[in-house]
């Protein structure tokens, strides 16, 4: 592992490298309080995106459109205001292939290597009051499943797992680990976001197979977890929401009546914020999921 650090404004950035092809950019408050609990969010990048694009910025003429579809930097600034009693840290997980599924193919020992990355980032902050939140969009979910496959049981310091339209790799072999973690860890929370990609078309052609997208996988995950947890169903605007009665699991499933593609909007429209705050006292505080972007004032110019 190699590291370098730089500080800009109210944020300090440190860049770590693993295995010569993984770059982790740690974004933390410059004024880091040892007296606050530290929330370490590991955000696995979607396929085809760089860290700079994932952070986002105000678009200028000629800029790549990828800078305007996630805005994790601005959404993080919003979170830091709402969660002022915590040190909110985001670790952007990028690899040289711009694809976690492809990276895993290139790394036969990916289970051990991903576990090492997560453990290293947890130990990087030498404080007792800290937690890891596993999060990712699109192909970033592959990193999360790689971690789940690499541990015998999900450790207690993992307190939140969120799939932002990213659970393509789910199968029923993960059910017991997730169920045990949710039952044994009082602070554990699982959130899943998906839209009906099974009917989505691009240039008149399906973008995924009937069983290959997050819509099918999310329903499979919901059915598997329903054997151990009781869920309530609710309608909210254009969503169907399933929450466990203990409020530790939430599925946000969006129908697709016009065969459109809503993959990135689930992040852009306050999705990252909601993945961190759903199931907490701050849920829907100053924002609404899939509503107007609440973080516009925080989008950096560069």
Each residue of 245-291: pLDDT tens digit?
Answer: 999 999 999 999 899 998 899 999 999 999 999 999 999 999 999 99
Give per-residue pLDDT as tens, 195-253.
Answer: 999 999 999 999 999 899 999 999 999 999 999 999 999 998 789 999 999 999 999 99
Give per-residue pLDDT as tens, 68-91.
Answer: 999 999 999 999 999 999 999 999
Alpha-helical (H) ranges within 91-174 are: 100-106, 110-124, 141-150
Could you tell me the two tokens for 179?
A: 């169920």
Give residue 3's pLDDT.
Answer: 56
CB 77 within 8 A of CB 273: no
Task: Name the band, by pLDDT with cuts 50, 70 and 90, for residue 2.
Answer: low
The dihedral of CA 23, 41, 287, 257: what is its sign?
positive
With 0-12 / 13-18 / 19 or more C-beta atoms within 10 angstroms meaning exposed / middle / buried, residue 128 is: exposed
Task: Name the band, by pLDDT with cuts 50, 70 and 90, for residue 57.
Answer: very high
**How much is the pTM?**
0.95
Closest to 177 measured CA to CA, from 149, 205, 199, 158 = 149
């Amino acid at each position: 592992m190699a590291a370098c650090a730089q500080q800009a404004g109210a944020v300090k950035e440190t860049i770590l490298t693993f295995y010569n092809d993984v770059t982790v950019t740690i974004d933390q408050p410059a004024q880091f309080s040892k007296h606050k609990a530290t929330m370490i969010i590991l955000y696995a990048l979607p396929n085809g995106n760089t860290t700079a694009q994932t952070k986002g910025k105000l678009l200028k003429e000629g800029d790549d459109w990828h800078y305007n579809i996630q805005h994790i930097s601005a959404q993080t600034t919003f979170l830091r205001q709402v969660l002022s009693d915590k040190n909110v840290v985001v670790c952007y997980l990028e690899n040289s292939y711009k694809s976690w599924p492809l990276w895993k193919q290139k790394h036969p020992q990916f289970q051990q290597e991903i576990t090492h990355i997560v453990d290293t980032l947890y130990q990087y902050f030498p404080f007792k009051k800290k937690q890891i939140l596993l999060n990712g969009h699109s192909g970033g979910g592959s990193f999360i499943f790689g971690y789940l496959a690499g541990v015998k049981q999900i450790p207690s310091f993992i307190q939140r797992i969120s799939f932002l339209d990213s659970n393509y790799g789910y199968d029923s072999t993960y059910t017991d680990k997730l169920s045990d973690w949710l039952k044994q860890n009082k602070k554990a929370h699982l959130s899943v976001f998906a839209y009906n990609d099974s009917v989505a078309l691009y240039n008149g052609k399906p973008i995924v197979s009937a069983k290959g997208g997050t819509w099918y996988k999310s329903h499979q995950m919901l059915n598997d977890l329903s054997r151990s947890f009781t869920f309530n169903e609710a309608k909210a605007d254009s969503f169907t929401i399933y929450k466990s009665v203990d409020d530790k699991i939430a599925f946000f499933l969006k129908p697709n009546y016009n065969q459109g593609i809503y993959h990135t909007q689930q992040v852009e429209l306050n999705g990252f914020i909601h993945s961190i705050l759903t199931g907490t006292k701050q849920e829907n505080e100053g924002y609404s999921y899939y509503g107007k972007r609440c973080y516009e004032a925080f989008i950096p110019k560069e």
